[in-house]
Amino acid sequence: MDLAHSLSAAGRSRSLSERFRALRSASVSLVSPLSDADATIQSMPDASPAKWHLAHTTWFFETFLLRDHLNGYGLFDERWPYLFNSYYEAEGERHARAARGMLSRPSLDEVLDYRAHVDAAMEGLLERDELADLIALGIAHEEQHQELLLTDIKHALWRNPLGPAYGVLPEGGVDRGLGDQGWIEHPGGIARIGHKGPAFAFDNEGPSHRVLLEPFALSRRLVTNREWDAFIADGGYRTAGLWLSDGWAWVQENAIAAPLYWREGEAFTLGGWRDRDPDAPVTHISHYEADAFATWAGLRLPTEFEWEVAARDSDPSAGVQWDGGAVNPSGTDQLFGDCWQWTRSAYLPYPRFRPAEGAVGEYNGKFMSGQCVLKGASCATPRGHSRATYRNFFQPYQRWQFTGLRLARDL
Amino acid sequence: MDLAHSLSAAGRSRSLSERFRALRSASVSLVSPLSDADATIQSMPDASPAKWHLAHTTWFFETFLLRDHLNGYGLFDERWPYLFNSYYEAEGERHARAARGMLSRPSLDEVLDYRAHVDAAMEGLLERDELADLIALGIAHEEQHQELLLTDIKHALWRNPLGPAYGVLPEGGVDRGLGDQGWIEHPGGIARIGHKGPAFAFDNEGPSHRVLLEPFALSRRLVTNREWDAFIADGGYRTAGLWLSDGWAWVQENAIAAPLYWREGEAFTLGGWRDRDPDAPVTHISHYEADAFATWAGLRLPTEFEWEVAARDSDPSAGVQWDGGAVNPSGTDQLFGDCWQWTRSAYLPYPRFRPAEGAVGEYNGKFMSGQCVLKGASCATPRGHSRATYRNFFQPYQRWQFTGLRLARDL
Amino acid sequence: MDLAHSLSAAGRSRSLSERFRALRSASVSLVSPLSDADATIQSMPDASPAKWHLAHTTWFFETFLLRDHLNGYGLFDERWPYLFNSYYEAEGERHARAARGMLSRPSLDEVLDYRAHVDAAMEGLLERDELADLIALGIAHEEQHQELLLTDIKHALWRNPLGPAYGVLPEGGVDRGLGDQGWIEHPGGIARIGHKGPAFAFDNEGPSHRVLLEPFALSRRLVTNREWDAFIADGGYRTAGLWLSDGWAWVQENAIAAPLYWREGEAFTLGGWRDRDPDAPVTHISHYEADAFATWAGLRLPTEFEWEVAARDSDPSAGVQWDGGAVNPSGTDQLFGDCWQWTRSAYLPYPRFRPAEGAVGEYNGKFMSGQCVLKGASCATPRGHSRATYRNFFQPYQRWQFTGLRLARDL
Amino acid sequence: MDLAHSLSAAGRSRSLSERFRALRSASVSLVSPLSDADATIQSMPDASPAKWHLAHTTWFFETFLLRDHLNGYGLFDERWPYLFNSYYEAEGERHARAARGMLSRPSLDEVLDYRAHVDAAMEGLLERDELADLIALGIAHEEQHQELLLTDIKHALWRNPLGPAYGVLPEGGVDRGLGDQGWIEHPGGIARIGHKGPAFAFDNEGPSHRVLLEPFALSRRLVTNREWDAFIADGGYRTAGLWLSDGWAWVQENAIAAPLYWREGEAFTLGGWRDRDPDAPVTHISHYEADAFATWAGLRLPTEFEWEVAARDSDPSAGVQWDGGAVNPSGTDQLFGDCWQWTRSAYLPYPRFRPAEGAVGEYNGKFMSGQCVLKGASCATPRGHSRATYRNFFQPYQRWQFTGLRLARDL
């Protein structure tokens, strides 16, 4: 299937209603290669079944739009909110996250019926201006789940000894012949960080505020598989001094010796087991691994602020980066569309951040200690979902997302 | 669906080849109410997916009959033995038991194709006398998995908050108006125990040997839901002195306060949530619970030998018990077809027991410490699979099988 | 220190009061090589601090004798029963077992004061005939704890990388030049099993009852370290087919490859690290290991009944075995005083067993599923504590006791 | 004992050699109330035995000073480095952290002999200028362990149901009649952060660098027990929306409902169980609790930079704060000597930070993801160990240190 097409469809649309319809259609097309059984299984507590993603994003529209704003709307099934609420305490009790893989019912077809029912009802709300922000939030929310659906099904298929293929994405980006690393220097100073203005952004991207940066340089491109092979060959996974102390404990407890999805000469992809391209960016590494690699290289990870400043001129909303191939005039390449890039920044609310009221605020204001910020966007990120202010975040040990790294150094 | 019909089909057939065909057909009919997704999920490590049961029993025939005895037979798929071997060390590496629920592929339809392929090839072996014992073993093995398929899917559907129905069985037996308990007395003495003779039996049912019994009495019928309610009402689950010490630890750690599948006034059945019949036998209890109940009643569980001696005159091969309703002339009722009955006997090999050579011996000679013997047969046991010498065995905390109890006392 | 002398002191005394005083004095002498810190630490939840054993056995006399039967007796410290009750539910709340190693207070000296206080008060009860059974029970109880004190401190000292020595015991017995195995045959038949008569025995040794034995043979002596080395060299720990299925899981999860306390050519003893004597009995093995060894040897473990019948003529109360050296006229050697001997019997109450009423009954009537019976007595067992009817019991994975094996076979 | 005197002794000394001797003597005086057994036990893996602290700090001097710099120095005991190395990979294998409580040997007296031996040998190095920095590091290292010794023994004694007393500290500070909260405002701007200059500091306090602060206000005083009672009474521990999402999971899994060491109206102190002073600062709270309290109050925790800027004028090296009672002229009170104060800052290296080479660099350059910075100093912090640039760090769930909070808000 043409995943890239699906992921970019919504991004190209103009009006909110067009975007809504394109988004909803894209999600359905993402499950077209999957059987009911494929869409049901949950391969680990961090992942969710494909079917669940389809239903949960629909529950979001049903709950916060239809239930609250469409007169006379009746729930598709009164028992389903319990199943498809993710973590909104304000919305009541819910099915345990780790048990999502027990839901062989409702079937995938029933979930698709649910989507059709909600989509039809949503037509009555799409033109109401006062709901535009909430609808835009629902779209952004579903875009997040589109990416998760892809990373989660990749993990599930990988656990099957048969190694089934799903479809083809240019995973982690491809070799663009970028050659030597090269450094893009920045003089430092006071920079404005975070989202401002009328365009959509998640609450955690603001408030816009100033930070003071020391002079720094960012690598023009991402770290490659070839470079990662050198790290392994040099004993990177066996050298305690390269690792954060919790990272070293993680390596030892889990006998980590390579990125996730690697085996001899190959990597598991959504298209099945494939030879690794040595010049493609390394992906599926944890923050621990990224940090150890940078230490091994005598360098460091960038802060989220350094990354954002460097990327500002290359915002994918200008279309420069997304389609691949074209070298960014500012020099920094592979910002969006290859893989998420670990930073050294802990995920914390920005100064003066206040969560919005109510259940939707719960979604936007959910913070957790111990997570690290990632910047950029991966091959699985819907196009409309990439921007310089975007803050992704995961625990430092997690690596089933398309995660890689870009190096930085002080000047 | 008419489960009882499916379960009894194989039992009524005469010749081995008729029995084989009836058995194989019955297994397929057991999954007719299930979707591919239903047949894929694994609700706990002790349970297996329905699809896996269908494929594993087929792998047994493919491996030990077709591969070893049919010239020119080609494996249906060379990668599948890795998936569907259960625990036979002699047959090489295998998929981890706890990860059986990850197998969304092969699909249920592909597994049914596998069955058809193997069944067709088996036709060439069914009349070969020297293979009759091995085929009979394969039939008995698949009968075991028919029961497991039912108990496993019950557990899986129970974990779904929607509580879907599968089909109807007279679970744990029904109220037959048996009334007061009544005691069937036995004078004790030297009894012969275990299987002997040409009819099929598992290796663990022999060798036949003698045991010395003291005078004892067995209850005429099983303990009922009504009696269990009295145990609960009397604080049975809160009284340490009634429990084995590991049983008491189990109660506390798991906050056990009722049989599995109970909720207020109802029990989960293969037909969904139903009102509990107070006069039906209690089921889905652990050995710990059975033992505590007996202590509470001032009585005890029978030994496996006492049970076998009492049941001998009521062997279901004579058809007396299975169809229900008819009172056993010897007086002991509800021996077979209601629920498995915990005994106080630990599961140990009989004197002079020797495991057979090879992988099949591995199946028959597999012992584990800490398990308890259960006697009888449940509502989910295929009819041809019930006999007085049968020894079922589970860990004392397990209770997802149809397990109940019959009381005993010394004379 | 002369441990053997301490352990045998109580056994040689005549009157109950003499035995009480000798026992109490022997316990104190067992801690003479220990510092307050040594006597405080708990090396695993299965073990208890030496200080705790001293106090708990004293609590038994204070509670069941002094508190209940001595007018005007005042508790030594009102807070201590909470600390030193082991598991008697009837005696109220108690300190968590796994937290016994947190009790740096009271000090060892304070515990010795407690013992002196209770011993002095006990003088007033020692001659009261109606209390003789209870006092004898208290003595037997403390004898059990004397052995546990030794096995627990051995484990604690072993966990110290300095490998400190405690004192010298002939651990697991010594090489007596017993030479070839040799088999003592028994014709089978109906045997009477269990304790009967006025002498002291624990409740679990009765009621006396009959069992039917098939003809069998028992090895004249125990399995040696040399034989165990051959088992290892032959890949015993790597051959799945030799093991009970839970035993095999235990081997793999814990990477078991030798008896506990073994390292290259040496074994840890109460006297520190020592060269292993190839002709001494192997000790510190689990039931799993004993069973696998027997299977490897083409033999089996005896039942508890076979062992008891064979030992009856060699009862240590006749003094034949205990002092070592003298060959038993009946032929069976190393019955008592070398190591506990695993049987294949599950630990279950004997027919017609009824626990006594009250808290003391809790002690005697405590059963747990999954445990295996051991017969005999070890080098650490007080002499008066050995008899043919004695039933020791542990979980099949436990091996910090002095445990070994004797082989059996069918005739 | 006069703990405050012990803790302040080293701080008042002038020369390095005087400070060394005072420090070493102070550590010994800290164990004067402890028995050998008290000094041996380990109450949880995060804590270490008192004896271990005494020996480990001595190992530091023996290894990095005497072994490397004193000609002909012989190790006190060649086996002890294995026991008392904490985590220095460069120094080889070491005893498992969680098994430190198994070391009943060496005894406390032997450890004190070890200290005397090392102290005597150190006399030969104290005047060597080129070693002054390393000696100062060793002193600072031992000061850290003095505080840990106190918090660890507090935890150990608390686990004893007898609740033994150790000595008296003004724990968490005392009520100084500070009254209403009051806010000290700061206009923001570019501030210089981190240590610079010749005085001793840990590597993680530098390099000195600039940060940009927005206008903010800090509370003049710490949050009190009375205020915490109000948080509890208002359902703070039961309101999901107040908590970080991992904090809420922690509350539920551990059934947290109050600070550590609280019970009805009382708190456990080094002096035993005491009535809580409602006006004293709350202590023994986790970062999760501190953050939830701040959210409940409609405020937030300060960043580490805000705290440092506010404290700069109140540096305890000027003696203003430490002795208590005197109100800081700048208005911010209770900065040092009451309790460590959680900030919202993740513990990350400062810009341009580089770990020093070798094993000592391992000590100074040890970072771990997920930890939070605490500022200030507690009642158990040695006086010479308090300064505005100091960065303490713990996991967000840890609370056995003397930890409290100060509120902040945006202007």
| C-alpha distances in Å from residue D290, one per residue of C225, D224, D228, D296, D307 | 60, 12, 10, 10, 15
What pLDDT sits at residue D174? 65
- Tell me whether residues D107 and C37 touch, CB distance under 8 A: yes
Chain A interface mutation, best of D343, D357, D369, highest count of A Cβ atoms under 10 Å: D369
DSSP annotation of C88 reads -
Whether the pLDDT of residue D326 is over 80: the answer is no
What are the structure tokens assigned to B402, written together?
A: 């149809």
Whether the pLDDT of residue A321 is over 70: the answer is no
Distance of residue D394 Cα from the nearest chain C Cα, in angstroms: 24
pLDDT, tens digit (0-9, with 9 covering 90-100), for D384-400: 889 999 999 999 999 99
Find chain B residues with C-beta within 8 A of C350's C-beta: none
Strand intervals (E) in B244-335: 262-263, 266-269, 272-275
Whether the pLDDT of residue B315 is over 70: the answer is no
What pLDDT sits at residue B327? 42
DSSP bridge pairs for B342: B374
What are the structure tokens assigned to B211, written together?
A: 């045991």
How far apart CA D159 and CA D261 sit, in angstroms, is 10
pLDDT, tens digit (0-9, with 9 covering 90-100), for D183-221: 999 999 999 999 999 899 999 999 999 999 999 999 999
Chain D interface mutation, best of C51, C93, C102, highest count of D Cβ atoms under 10 Å: C102
Strand intervals (E) in B205-263: 209-213, 216-219, 262-263
Chain B interface mutation, best of C242, C369, C394, C409, highest count of B Cβ atoms under 10 Å: C369
How far apart CA A101 and CA A48 sit, in angstroms, is 7
Residue C190: which of B212, B247, B345 has the nearest Cβ?
B212
The reply to whether A109 touches chain B by the CB within 8 Å rule is no
Q: Which of D368, D406, D365 lies closest to D88, judged by CA?
A: D365
Which residues neighbour A148 within 8 Å (Cβ) at sequence distance 6 or greater?
Answer: A47, A48, A53
Which residues neighbour A290 within 8 Å (Cβ) at sequence distance 6 or greater?
Answer: A301, A342, A403, A404, A405
Pairing outcome for strands B216-219 and D189-193: unpaired
DSSP H helical ranges for D205-313: 225-233, 245-254, 287-296, 304-311
The reply to whether C152 touches chain D by the CB within 8 Å rule is no
- Average pLDDT rounded to a whole number, residues A137-166: 97
What are the structure tokens assigned to C86, written together?
A: 């082991």
DSSP annotation of D224 reads B
A299-326 per-residue burial string, b: 16 or more CB within 10 A, e: under 16: bbbbbbbbbbbbbbebbbeeebbbebee
The reply to whether D370 touches chain A by the CB within 8 Å rule is yes
Q: Is 3.40.640.10 the CATH number for D183-410?
A: no
Which residues neighbour A11 within 8 Å (Cβ) at sequence distance 6 or greater?
Answer: A382, A383, A384, A385
Residue B105: which of A39, A79, A160 has the nearest Cβ?
A160
pLDDT, tens digit (0-9, with 9 covering 90-100), for B37-66: 999 999 999 999 999 999 999 999 999 999
Identify which has the larger pLDDT, C277 or C169: C277
Contact B10, B143 (CB under 8 A): yes
Whether the pLDDT of residue B173 is over 80: the answer is no
Q: Which helix (H) or strand (E) holds D81?
A: helix D80-84
| C-alpha distances in Å from residue C201, one per residue of B301, C335, C387 | 26, 18, 9
Identify which has the larger pLDDT, A41 or C385: A41
What pLDDT sits at residue C210? 95
The reply to whether C46 touches chain B by the CB within 8 Å rule is no
Distance of residue C70 Cα from the nearest chain B Cα, in angstroms: 28
The pLDDT confidence band at residue B189, using thresholds 50, 70 and 90, is very high
Measure CA B34 to chain center. Answer: 21
Q: Which of A188, A209, A143 lies closest to A9, judged by CA?
A: A143
B214-244 per-residue burial string, b: 16 or more CB within 10 A, e: under 16: bebbbbbbbbbbebbeebeeeebbebbebbb
What pLDDT sits at residue B10? 55
Distance of residue B83 Cα from the nearest chain C Cα, in angstroms: 20
Mean pLDDT of chain D: 91
Please give the span between the terminal C-alpha atoms of chain A, in angstroms, as a whole number: 46
The pLDDT confidence band at residue C72, using thresholds 50, 70 and 90, is very high
Contact A296, A383 (CB under 8 A): no
What pLDDT sits at residue B11? 54
What pLDDT sits at residue A331? 80
Whether the pLDDT of residue A318 is over 50: the answer is no
pLDDT, tens digit (0-9, with 9 covering 90-100), for C123-179: 999 999 999 999 999 999 999 999 999 999 999 999 999 999 998 887 876 666 777
Q: Which chain C residue lies closest to B90 (C-alpha atoms)?
A: C241
CB atoms within 10 A of CB A352: 15
Whether the pLDDT of residue D229 is over 50: the answer is yes
Distance of residue C114 Cα from the nearest chain D Cα, in angstroms: 16
Whether the pLDDT of residue B325 is over 50: the answer is no
DSSP H helical ranges for B41-175: 50-61, 68-69, 80-84, 108-122, 132-158
Identify which has the larger pLDDT, C167 or A329: C167
Phi-psi sector, B282: left (phi>0), alpha (psi -120 to 50), beta: beta
Contact C140, C103 (CB under 8 A): no
What pLDDT sits at residue B161? 96
What are the structure tokens assigned to B354, written together?
A: 């020797």
The reply to whether C366 touches chain B by the CB within 8 Å rule is yes
The pLDDT confidence band at residue B321, using thresholds 50, 70 and 90, is very low
- Tell me whether residues D83 and C36 touch, CB distance under 8 A: no
Chain B interface mutation, best of A102, A111, A153, highest count of B Cβ atoms under 10 Å: A102
The pLDDT confidence band at residue C88, using thresholds 50, 70 and 90, is confident
Question: Is A241 exposed, middle or buried, given 0-12, 13-18 or 19+ CB atoms closer than 10 A?
Answer: middle
What pLDDT sits at residue B320? 33
What pLDDT sits at residue C325? 38
What are the structure tokens assigned to D205, written together?
A: 């306090």
Q: Which of B302, A348, C348, C11 lies closest to D347, judged by CA?
A: A348
Find chain D residues with C-beta within 8 A of A368's C-beta: 244-246
The reply to whether A69 touches chain D by the CB within 8 Å rule is no
The reply to whether B109 touches chain C by the CB within 8 Å rule is no
How far apart CA A117 and CA D178 sit, in angstroms, is 62
Contact D393, D370 (CB under 8 A): no
Residue B245: which of C210, C245, C366 has the nearest Cβ?
C366
Do B and A touch, counting CB pairs below 8 Å (3 needed)? yes
Q: Which chain B residue lies closest to A78 (C-alpha atoms)?
A: B162
Residue A161: which of B41, B82, B108 has the nearest Cβ?
B82
Q: Which of C35, C167, C40, C101 lies closest to D106, judged by CA?
A: C35
What pLDDT sits at residue C168? 84
**Model pTM?**
0.93
Listed ranges A227-236, A317-326, D348-357; the one with the highest mean pLDDT:
A227-236
- Average pLDDT rounded to a whole number, residues B322-341: 70
Considering only the C-alpha atoms of chain D, give the largest distance between any 2 of them, rounded to a whole number of Å. Answer: 66
Contact C150, C380 (CB under 8 A): yes
DSSP annotation of A10 reads H
Within 13 Å, how many C-alpha atoms sit on residue C304's CB side? 22
Q: Which of B33, B262, B163, B37 lies closest to A82, judged by CA?
A: B163
Within 13 Å, how many C-alpha atoms sit on residue A264's CB side? 0
Whether the pLDDT of residue D51 is over 90: the answer is yes
**Domains of chain B, residue spans:** 3-158, 183-410
Whether the pLDDT of residue B151 is over 60: the answer is yes
Contact A391, A373 (CB under 8 A): yes
- Average pLDDT rounded to a whole number, residues B372-382: 96
Taking the CA atoms of A63, A64, A68 and A72 in sequence, report the sign of the dihedral they define: negative
Mean pLDDT of chain C: 91
Mean pLDDT of chain B: 91
Which residues neighbour A107 within 8 Å (Cβ) at sequence distance 6 or greater?
Answer: A36, B35, B37
The reply to whether D156 touches chain C by the CB within 8 Å rule is yes
Distance of residue B369 Cα from the nearest chain C Cα, in angstroms: 7
Whether the pLDDT of residue A13 is over 90: the answer is no
Residue C159: which of D99, D107, D161 has the nearest Cβ?
D99
Do A and C touch, counting CB pairs below 8 Å (3 needed)? no
Chains near B with 3+ CB pairs less than 8 A apart are A, C
Which DSSP string corresponds to C301-369?
PPPHHHHHHHHGGG-GGGTTTTTSSSPPTTS----EEE-EEEEEEE--PPTT--PPSHHHHHHHT---T
What pLDDT sits at residue D175? 67
Whether the pLDDT of residue B165 is over 70: the answer is yes
pLDDT, tens digit (0-9, with 9 covering 90-100), for B210-265: 999 999 999 999 999 999 999 999 999 999 999 999 999 999 999 999 999 999 99
How far apart CA C100 and CA C83 sit, in angstroms, is 8
pLDDT, tens digit (0-9, with 9 covering 90-100), for A109-141: 999 999 999 999 999 999 999 999 999 999 999
How far apart CA B366 and CA B204 sit, in angstroms, is 9
- Tell me whether residues A367 and D210 touch, CB distance under 8 A: no
- Average pLDDT rounded to a whole number, residues B351-362: 80
Contact A264, A274 (CB under 8 A): no
Distance of residue A80 Cα from the nearest chain B Cα, in angstroms: 9
Measure CA B132 to chain center. Answer: 24
For A59-63, D101-105, D385-389, which range has the lowest pLDDT when averaged over its residues? D385-389
The reply to whether A384 touches chain D by the CB within 8 Å rule is no
Find chain D residues with C-beta within 8 A of A369's C-beta: 244, 246-247, 287-288, 346, 370, 372, 396
- Tell me whether residues D212 and A214 touch, CB distance under 8 A: no
Measure CA B107 to chain center. Answer: 26
- Average pLDDT rounded to a whole number, residues A393-399: 97
Mean pLDDT of chain A: 91
How far apart CA D349 and CA A242 sit, in angstroms, is 14
Identify which has the larger pLDDT, C407 or D6: C407
pLDDT, tens digit (0-9, with 9 covering 90-100), for A180-194: 779 999 999 999 999
> SS3 of A273, please?
strand
Find chain A residues with C-beta within 8 A of B82's C-beta: 161
- Tell me whether residues B367 and C244 touch, CB distance under 8 A: yes
Which residues neighbour B58 within 8 Å (Cβ) at sequence distance 6 or greater?
Answer: B84, B111, B114, B115, B118
Find chain D residues with C-beta within 8 A of C162's C-beta: 79, 83, 105-106
What ipTM was assigned to the predicted interfaces of this complex?
A: 0.92
- Average pLDDT rounded to a whole number, residues D266-285: 96
The reply to whether C37 touches chain D by the CB within 8 Å rule is yes
How far apart CA C377 and CA C314 sit, in angstroms, is 13
D343-362 per-residue burial string, b: 16 or more CB within 10 A, e: under 16: bbbbbbbbbebebeeebbbb
How far apart CA C248 and CA C238 sit, in angstroms, is 9
Give long-range contacts, CB 8 A cutoff, 24+ apart: B123-132. B124/B70, B125/B65, B125/B66, B125/B69, B125/B70, B126/B16, B126/B17, B126/B20, B127/B17, B128/B69, B131/B65, B131/B69, B132/B16
Nearest-Å Rg of the Cα atoms of chain D is 21
